[in-house]
Amino acid sequence: MLLGVNLLPPSSLLLENRSMAFFFRLILLGLLSGFFSCQPDPVESLHRDIMRIHDEIMPMTSELAQLALELKQLEERDSMLRAGDRESILRDLGKMDAAEESMMLWMNHYLPPYRQTNLPDEEVLAYLRQQRKQIEGVQKETHTAMEIGRAWMEKFKVK
């Protein structure tokens, strides 16, 4: 106090500023921790990507099986087929069956990350990358088989 003038703010103001500073720091800490916790988990992200591909292919396998069945019935009952068409149909039926089998094999062997809790993240990521390549191969094989089956149906005007 100098000449009756108090140069320091009242103690209630100091206490209020400290409370606000603490509150501000607390909010900032919460925002930062929220930001960092929202970063995508690479294992979960890769698993979701794999399952997205799986979910795209899965309904196609039913359609593929139906196409293969119709094509097989066409091959068996149509005595008017040329020998070359018959051989091509049988070869393509093999491709269609192989695509369906590839999907079933992949599904039976895939281990989702939650079943690999005893492994380090690096090993799980390496496994998932390899699985993504496999399911992408199955995806390509399935799309090709679908195109083959649809082409035969179009050729013989089967709906």
Q: Domain locations in the chain? A: 11-37, 41-155
Residues in the chain: 159
Mean pLDDT estimate for the chain:
83
φ, ψ of residue 5 to 5 degrees: the values are: -110, 125
Q: Can you give the C-alpha Rg of the chain in angstroms?
A: 32
> What pLDDT tens digit does each residue of the chain (159 aa) get?
555 666 555 555 555 666 555 555 656 566 665 555 566 799 999 999 999 999 999 999 999 999 999 999 888 887 777 878 889 999 999 999 999 999 999 999 999 987 778 888 899 999 999 999 999 999 999 999 999 999 999 988 766
Taking the CA atoms of 52, 56, 58 and 61 in sequence, report the sign of the dihedral they define.
negative
Q: Which residues partner with 2 through β-bridges? A: 5
Q: Which of 49, 42, 38, 52 is nearest to 124 (CA)?
A: 42
What tokens does 134 get? 């496999």
Are 93 and 72 a contacting pair, CB within 8 Å? yes
